[in-house]
């Protein structure tokens, strides 16, 4: 029986010395490469073309230098060649127990199959974070999402089952009804995307309900930059609901890879299930510890559709040689996900990240949490960004111009470039139940940063 006062969900794994983690990773990577080579046509072809045989990978250096990257486009192409999963699948079709897909807003949807084992491991990813922040089996979870075809919060549900806590489904009802359900059932943990949680708070106030009266103790989000990446958003969530707010960083086709650090400074890669390399998105070369780059992940818990040296396009800053304050030895992604390689804008040589812009805008008094970032080319054909932000209802309309000047000045002071800012009235920008769409890229495709190569 697990002690409820234990600090870790699994101390053995979470505090494993780095050297030992490296040994376990290498052993698993070698097994995984052989498994994928023998069972997945996609990997067989990929490794054959690169001139790599499983036995050639004997050291971590071999893995870094010889094994090719895999991209979402590789998996999509394999699926399109022979639907539904084609050469991307490595297990028997009968062993696929759960199927999801991505939205496919920019093309064909990516199908994501899982074996039963994969779902158990994917779910447990969440539990490491729950336990670390103090959530226990006596807690009850409210799921404010529609139980659709996206794996995100389904995997959270698997995790809550693993923890043994209570599940309250908020599927298929309006925001108002969700609030009434929470009033009646008094859950202690709210699971939602961060911007939808803010919308719940906004709706509560419209209904004359103090969001604090719901009695929640925790917010635990995923799906978009959240309370770790955006401190101002954390303050808003924590003060609105009277909770502690945490987030998990997940990649749908890979796993719920990085649960929360209780210190709220970042999230930790679950190294019992995943291995990562952080690389320069343009050259594919490893970046040093403490630097930013694209997260490249290998999963030991995705046996249906393997992901080995998979380019996530997520920008992270990694730390691994010293244990974290929370006691974990696992890789720390400081500030969680900082942006997407697709949306990095280089203005006069400076990389401008989504979360940096968002943090600065949110810190200016008079702004609301609702904003959009539009990437476009300026008249000289250089990358440029327009930030549209909703004013707080307390700001009079004739002050919008001053407010946009103030925001532009704060951005210039903090990141060293001037961005165009437009302040719009409350309620102008759309609200979303799942991921809020905040980035809009109006550049021609060939002008975007090369990634996924």
Q: Kindly indicate which of the ranges 62-70, 179-187, 259-267, 341-349 contains the residues binding Zn ion, using the contact rule CB under 5 A.
A: 259-267
Q: Is 257 in the site for Zn ion (CB under 5 A)?
A: no
> What are the start-end ranges of the E strands in 242-366?
244-247, 249-251, 255-258, 266-268, 274-279, 292-299, 310-319, 332-334, 339-340, 345-347, 350-352
* Cβ proximity of 80 and 111 under 8 Å: no
Extract long-range pairs of 93-97: CB within 8 Å, 24+ residues apart.
95/304, 96/304
Spell out the residues 6+ positions from residue 2 whose beta carbon is closer than 8 angstroms to its own. Answer: none
Contact pattern from residue 106 through residue 145 relative to Zn ion, giving x for each residue in contact according to CB under 5 A and a dash for the rest:
----------------------------------------
Considering the complex, state which of residue 52 and residue 326 has its C-beta at the smaller distance from Zn ion. 326
DSSP one-letter code for 4: T
Q: Kindly indicate which of the ranges 182-190, 194-202, 256-264, 379-387 contains the residues binding Zn ion, using the contact rule CB under 5 A.
A: 256-264
| Span 333-372, contacts to Zn ion by CB under 5 A | none
Considering the complex, state which of residue 201 and residue 261 has its C-beta at the smaller distance from Zn ion. 261
Return d(Cα 116, Cα 303) in angstroms, integer.
10
**Is 44 strand, coil or helix?**
helix
- Min separation Cβ 129 and Zn ion, Å: 10
Q: Kindly indicate which of the ranges 22-30, 258-266, 286-294, 385-393 contains the residues binding Zn ion, using the contact rule CB under 5 A.
A: 258-266
Considering the complex, state which of residue 15 and residue 183 has its C-beta at the smaller distance from Zn ion. 15
Count of residues that bind Zn ion according to CB under 5 A: 4
DSSP one-letter code for 213: G
- Min separation Cβ 7 and Zn ion, Å: 11
Considering the complex, state which of residue 260 and residue 296 has its C-beta at the smaller distance from Zn ion. 260
Q: Is 261 in the site for Zn ion (CB under 5 A)?
A: yes
Residue that the structure tokens 């961060």 belong to: 194
- Min separation Cβ 179 and Zn ion, Å: 33
- Min separation Cβ 330 and Zn ion, Å: 8
Return d(Cα 65, Cα 58) in angstroms, integer.
12
What Cα–Cα distance (Å) separates residue 54 from each residue in 31, 109, 162, 284?
9, 31, 35, 21
353 token code pair? 């990240």
What Cα–Cα distance (Å) separates residue 71 from each residue in 104, 150, 361, 453?
15, 19, 33, 7
**Is 129 strand, coil or helix?**
helix
Considering the complex, state which of residue 91 and residue 332 has its C-beta at the smaller distance from Zn ion. 332
- Min separation Cβ 324 and Zn ion, Å: 3
- Min separation Cβ 326 and Zn ion, Å: 3
- Min separation Cβ 128 and Zn ion, Å: 11
- Min separation Cβ 325 and Zn ion, Å: 6
Considering the complex, state which of residue 102 and residue 270 has its C-beta at the smaller distance from Zn ion. 270
Considering the complex, state which of residue 309 and residue 328 has its C-beta at the smaller distance from Zn ion. 328
Considering the complex, state which of residue 115 and residue 264 has its C-beta at the smaller distance from Zn ion. 264
Spell out the residues 6+ positions from residue 93 whose beta carbon is closer than 8 angstroms to its own. Answer: 85
Find, among 2, 13, 42, 25, the residue nearest to 275 by Cα: 25
Contact pattern from residue 311 through residue 340 relative to Zn ion, giving x for each residue in contact according to CB under 5 A and a dash for the rest:
-------------x-x-x------------
- Min separation Cβ 362 and Zn ion, Å: 24
Q: Is 229 in the site for Zn ion (CB under 5 A)?
A: no
Considering the complex, state which of residue 87 and residue 262 has its C-beta at the smaller distance from Zn ion. 262
**Is 219 strand, coil or helix?**
strand
Considering the complex, state which of residue 228 and residue 240 has its C-beta at the smaller distance from Zn ion. 228
Chain centroid offset of residue 331 CA: 15
- Min separation Cβ 259 and Zn ion, Å: 10
Return d(Cα 432, Cα 146) in angstroms, integer.
12
Q: Which residues bind Zn ion (CB under 5 A)?
A: 261, 324, 326, 328
């Amino acid at each position: 029986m697990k002690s409820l006062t234990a600090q870790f969900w699994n101390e053995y794994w979470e505090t494993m010395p780095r050297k030992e983690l490296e040994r376990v990773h290498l052993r698993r990577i070698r097994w995984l490469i052989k498994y994928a080579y023998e069972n997945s046509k996609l990997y067989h072809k990929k490794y054959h073309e690169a001139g790599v045989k499983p036995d050639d990978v004997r050291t971590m250096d071999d893995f870094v230098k010889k094994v090719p990257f895999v991209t979402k486009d590789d998996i999509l192409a394999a699926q399109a060649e022979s639907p539904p999963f084609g050469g991307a699948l490595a297990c028997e079709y009968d062993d696929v127990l759960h199927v999801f897909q991505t939205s496919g807003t920019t093309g064909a949807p990516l199908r994501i199959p899982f074996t039963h084992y994969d779902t158990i491991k994917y779910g447990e990813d969440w539990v490491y974070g729950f336990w670390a922040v103090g959530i226990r089996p006596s807690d009850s979870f409210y799921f404010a999402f529609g139980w659709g075809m996206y794996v995100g919060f389904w995997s959270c549900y698997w995790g809550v089952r693993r923890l043994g806590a209570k599940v309250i489904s908020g599927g298929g009802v309006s925001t108002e009804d969700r609030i009434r359900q929470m009033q009646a059932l008094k859950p202690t943990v709210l699971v939602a995307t961060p911007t939808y949680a803010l919308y719940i708070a906004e709706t509560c106030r419209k209904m004359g309900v103090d969001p604090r009266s719901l009695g929640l103790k925790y917010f635990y989000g995923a799906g978009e930059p959240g309370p770790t990446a955006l401190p101002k958003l954390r303050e808003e969530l924590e003060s609105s609901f009277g909770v502690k707010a945490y987030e998990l960083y997940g990649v749908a086709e890979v796993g719920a890879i990085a649960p929360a650090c209780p210190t709220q400074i970042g999230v930790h890669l679950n190294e019992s299930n995943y291995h990562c390399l952080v690389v320069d998105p343009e050259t594919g070369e490893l970046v040093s510890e403490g630097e930013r780059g694209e997260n490249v992940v290998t999963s030991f818990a995705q046996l249906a559709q393997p992901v080995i040296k998979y380019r996530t396009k997520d920008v992270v800053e990694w730390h691994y040689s010293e244990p974290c304050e929370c006691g974990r030895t696992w890789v720390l992604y400081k500030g969680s996900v900082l942006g997407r390689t697709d949306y990095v804008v280089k203005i006069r040589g400076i990389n401008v990240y989504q979360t940096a812009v968002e943090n600065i805008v949110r810190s200016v008094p008079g702004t609301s949490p609702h904003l959009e970032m539009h990437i476009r080319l300026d008249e000289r054909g250089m990358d440029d960004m327009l930030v549209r932000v909703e004013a707080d209802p307390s700001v009079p309309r004739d002050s919008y111009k001053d407010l946009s000047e103030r925001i532009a000045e704060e951005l210039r002071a903090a990141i060293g470039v001037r961005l165009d800012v437009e302040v719009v009235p409350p309620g102008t920008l759309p609200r979303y139940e799942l991921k809020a769409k905040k980035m809009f890229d109006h550049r021609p495709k060939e002008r975007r940063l090369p990634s996924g190569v």
